[in-house]
């Protein structure tokens, strides 16, 4: 395989991984926002969906130079909402 083809394949793989990271990161932010809104409305919420995405992001990060994300607790959401008030 030529060097050019190898570099092209490597770049395509990195682009795919970054695109997947971006999609997951946005989805995580959406779930966080949903938890914040539920907390503000004093409704029940969980952080399960946030943390499922976080696990997927961190699995990608272990393979590449992608930033990891912290797991989110309900208390973290409540503290954040409390600071907004």
Q: What range does the domain containing 24 cover?
A: 3-84
pLDDT in tens, the chain (85 residues): 688 888 888 788 878 888 999 999 999 999 999 999 999 999 999 999 999 999 999 998 877 777 889 999 999 999 999 999 8
Q: How many CA atoms lie within 13 A of 53 on its CB side?
A: 17
Query: 45's torsion region: left (phi>0), alpha (psi -120 to 50) or beta?
Result: beta
Whole-model pTM: value is 0.81
Domain count, the chain: 1
């Amino acid at each position: 395989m030529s060097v050019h083809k190898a570099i092209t394949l490597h770049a395509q793989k990195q682009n795919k991984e970054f695109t997947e990271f971006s999609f997951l990161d946005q989805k995580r932010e959406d779930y966080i926002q949903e938890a914040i809104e539920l907390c503000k409305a004093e409704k029940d919420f969980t952080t399960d969906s946030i943390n499922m995405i976080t696990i997927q992001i961190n699995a990608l990060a272990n393979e590449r130079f992608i930033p990891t994300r912290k797991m989110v607790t309900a208390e973290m959401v409540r503290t954040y909402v409390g600071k907004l008030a």
